[in-house]
Chain A
């Protein structure tokens, strides 16, 4: 079973934070198919949010097909989200770490690295977008 964290200052709606944390947990293998999610009462008591928020998050996950509600038992993981398996995440994480070390040796600070990553992501998105249009 997993526990959630809800950051009130992040600007991301709490229900979305829960949805993302469940997705991430399943993606990273923390949760497997058939595992039970914490009950609404447990979540609410632990992170102090509105029960309706948890319900809304679980409903969204159910609509995505990620979880299913079994009457009288609770909410369970039904399938894995589309995307690479956990091992891929692991491998890419390693190569990114290598790149970070390289960048630091070249004299880049954290802020420069973050902005470089952001710019690259935007540029790639633009490129793929124009490709699609084209």
Chain B
């Protein structure tokens, strides 16, 4: 079966390889440039972290390329995954393949196996290159938990690629037509990414909440942590952010509310706010910051990859059941 898979996918394989090579060239060229800029910045700033933060890293023409890698899984899923079963059913070549002395299970196992491996390799190679390329930027930025730092680097791109291809295969097996399966890949992949990014990822692990005295220095989480929320909390648990409309919105205790400076030019705002903070502090209010520490980055990557790979496995199982059961 392996030779059959190779014969069927060698054209796609060659195209994928060419694109990977082109991407590698761009990544190396741009990555080396960014690295040299970073080195001169490091030399200039002489260990001053504030200075490092301010330095510009110019990525030039290829600025958008890391964003582009977000589309790699969808392209694989739509162009290779969706037609895997559906294309054969549409052209009726499944009648040829399934009437050879190879069970449909083995046929599907060989094709999905190689394709998923290919997807994982593509996703992995791209992710490794982007991770290396983004090294200086990661060192400079405080937050590597956001798009595109988090979802183009590490191991999650592998999970995405495997999932998108599995989704395409399963959708093709269910729909028996390529185009609807492609539509499902787009909607399903983007939808799931959206749901997991916004609603699930913040809760992979219980976030750390640190409280601090409102009158004392503020606390910012160490390193490239992922800030989820910050503000003030009353003894009864009421949360108020530091934003102007919130603070002036009448939720603070009346005695403290009265101390708020009249709105005007921002200059010297901090001094006048100190009275308010002391007042709130006296009434048991505390400042808080909720975040995911930077040290959890790899754990998060692992959890997210695991979720996508498990979902992919479930989808592949569905495809197997359907292909085995369904009348050809």
User: Are A and B direct contacts in the complex by CB distance below 8 Å?
Assistant: no
Q: Which residues of A contact B (CB under 8 A)?
A: none
